[in-house]
A and B are shown apart, each in its own frame.
Chain A
Amino acid sequence: MPVSYAAIAATFARIASSSFGGGTLALARRELVTHRGWLTDDGFIEILSLAQVLPGPNLTNLAVLVGGRLRGPAGAALAFGAMMAPAYLLLMAIAATVVAGARLPWLTAALRGCAAGAVGLSLANAIELTFRFRRDLVVLAFIALSALAVGVAHLSLPVVLVILVPPAYVALRGRRR
């Protein structure tokens, strides 16, 4: 018996609302593998690597892949919608407040603080992601080249991908992850 559309929508809406506190992937695995039994652990990891390689956010890609496998295009669209709707609606509510509150100085100041905090968050992300390759000079070189190409030389993303991915493919082919 095919999985019901209601179950697909409910499951992905629940996964989406958990992304308020981070740890969404952990919860996605719990729901899809442990609770629903729609995927095995191996199947989950396989779908996740596909979701990561393809363009688009990992979690919406995951929703499209799982929904599509369960109920074809309609299942994919439903899973995607359930995943996006909570975030989109909340964001629009915030946006409306911010626009309406454009003359509230404390709100502008708070947002400037948030923006500065977001710089710290991005920086911490970059440092953590780089840290595990700290002994791998080849990987570090590609990280630096990519950062300089986009951040300093202002090359566009497709150009950077075309220039860097083929040599990286050759240089890193034999490595473990």
Chain B
Amino acid sequence: MLLRLGTVFAILSLLGFGGGRAIIPQMYRDTVVQQHWVTAAEFSRYFAISKLAPGPTTLTGALIGFAVAGITGSLVATLALYGPSSALCYGMGRIWDRFQGHPLRDGFAKAMGPVIIGLVWAGAAAIAEGALDLPFTYAIAGAVTIVLLTTKVNPIVTILAAGVAGAAFLR
């Protein structure tokens, strides 16, 4: 089990181009749809918790590891999620220091941009699947979207407010 956990997250680790957000939909497919480690509702909750806490959003994976196999599971998931990408990053950093300013890099970054933004949309859809059911949950999601787009409120404050609203009205 720990081995499967490690393998799934290690592969995700190397796919996370463009920051963690981009691998959330893939993590959802792997852990909810294919492996059935957690339900869609649990995934959405873990995602929300990892949004609340500092650190990368992909720490959702550490919570899934915790749900599957306790603290050991969370450690395995975390090391698998960040070990391979960090090792690759270290190696690329060394190479980078030798070949500075290659034109391919800029072109690659430009090409990745729209693809990554598309993945953010898909990630929102994946989380919505487990999080939105009652009309009130739609209202919360809509309100948070509007507040974030129109004010400079700290995102963590909006998530906390959503939690308070949930505690009051979603029982």
Contacts and interface: CB of A to CB of B under 8 A. Distances in A.
A165 B112 contact: yes
Interface centre among A20, A98, A112, A175 (most CB of B within 10 A): A112
B170 A154 contact: no
A51 to B, nearest CB: 7
A122 B66 contact: no
Interface residues of A, number: 92
Interface stretch (A2-10, A30-38, A61-69): A61-69
A173 interface: yes
Interface in B119-152: 119-128, 130-132, 136-138, 140-145, 147-149
B13 A56 contact: yes
Contacts of A142: 114-115, 118
Interface in B74-124: 74, 78, 82, 85-86, 88-90, 92-94, 96-97, 100, 105, 107-124
Given A58-B19, A164-B115, A91 B53 contact: yes
Contacts of B154: 21-22
B142 A90 contact: no
Contacts of B7: none
A122 B121 CA distance: 8
Contacts of A12: none
Interface centre among B14, B71, B111 (most CB of A within 10 A): B111
Contacts of B16: 55-57
B116 to A, nearest CB: 8
Size class of B's contact patch?
Answer: 35 or more
Given A55-B14, A120-B141, A128-B149, A61 B86 contact: yes
A124 B153 CA distance: 12
Contacts of B2: none
Contacts of B125: 147, 151
Contact of A80 (B50, B82, B147): B82
11 contacts: A19-B55, A20-B54, A86-B55, A88-B55, A95-B66, A95-B74, A114-B51, A139-B113, A142-B118, A157-B15, A166-B111
Interface of A: 16-17, 19-22, 46-47, 49-61, 64-65, 68-69, 73, 76, 80, 84, 86-88, 90-92, 94-95, 98-99, 105-107, 109-130, 133, 139-140, 142-151, 154, 156-158, 160-161, 164-166, 168-169, 172-173, 175, 177
Interface of B: 13-23, 25-26, 29, 41, 44-45, 47-59, 62-63, 66-67, 71, 74, 78, 82, 85-86, 88-90, 92-94, 96-97, 100, 105, 107-128, 130-132, 136-138, 140-145, 147-149, 154-156, 158-171
